[in-house]
Structure 1
């Protein structure tokens, strides 16, 4: 079994990674963070990967995401794919899902405040990933963890939030 976390560096993706690490430690499971980086300035700016005046450098973005994963979850693996297009959210979700499935996940930890609501935005990548039935989905909607007996929170992460 592997716990896989789609990771874009956002607060909820970071919380999902930390949560996956906590459960992974308790259950002795591997954790993998995966990132898809479209090679487009606009998307990189929307994600906060680069500032408005900063040049687009996909290698640096991947390295920054990898470093962020190592900082939050040192024992987690990291895998990234660069894509040359900027697809609509549903096609972007297809790239992410393909990368997720390469790691044969038993559970995908998904940081999203949109997944599972009665009214779901069509532009949510998480909606498409959560629809897959090849794995279970653990949705992280809040940066702070729920209280779960037997799992010690990754306190340094939560103290910063």
Structure 2
């Protein structure tokens, strides 16, 4: 089985990776993907992917995001999608959905407080990714302590 996890460094996306790790068997594939706005220092700093005093360097941000994701699921593959700093609404979700189509997983996992409640939220990454019908979807809404 192949699992795809949308990861953005939030607590719910971290929990989504942990849930997949606990469900997956040793022979299953896990792909963890994140979209990183190019040059968006605030985005990277909020997620702890860029230190307060460090200048924005995309490779360093991608490396930090990869390290965080793989610390949660060491056997996973990691994909970082670069999007424009001022990407239009829905751009991140569209890029992730294209990656999902290319990977063709059986299960897509997202961490979202609103997915399923607000499916029509404009620009919602979760609603864009879970809208496909060729895979099952697991929405993680709560962090297990």
Give the TM-score normalised by structure 2.
0.85
Cα deviation, 1:86-128, whole Å, max 9, x if unaligned, reads 3133122101111222221111010110100157532421011
Structure 1 gaps of 5+ residues are 145-160
State the structure with more CA Rg. Answer: 1
Q: Is the CA contact (8 Å cut-off) linking 2:50 and 2:60 kept in structure 1?
A: no
Cα deviation, 1:4-40, whole Å, max 9, x if unaligned, reads 00111111111001111111128x4211101121203
1:14–1:93: structure 2 CA closer, same or farther, 3 Å change rule?
same
> What corresponds to 1:143 in structure 2?
143
Segments of 4+ moved more than 4 angstroms:
45-48
Tell me how far apart the structure 1 counterparts of residues 17 and 75 of structure 2 sit (CA, whole Å): 11
Cα deviation, 1:26-79, whole Å, max 9, x if unaligned, reads 8x4211101121203254345554366542111111101111122111111111
1:54-65 equivalence runs, <5 A: 54-65=54-65
Query: What's the secondary structure of 1:114's corresponding residue?
Result: coil
Tell me how far apart the structure 1 counterparts of residues 50 and 137 of structure 2 sit (CA, whole Å): 30
Q: CA deviation at 1:80?
A: 1.5
Tell me how far apart the structure 2 counterparts of residues 133 and 120 of structure 1 sit (CA, whole Å): 16
> What corresponds to 1:112 in structure 2?
112
Give the TM-score normalised by structure 1.
0.78
Query: What's the secondary structure of 1:82's corresponding residue?
Result: strand
Tell me how far apart the structure 2 counterparts of residues 48 and 69 of structure 1 sit (CA, whole Å): 12
Structure 2 gaps of 5+ residues are none
Query: What's the secondary structure of 2:78's corresponding residue?
Result: strand
Q: Count the aligned residue pairs.
A: 144
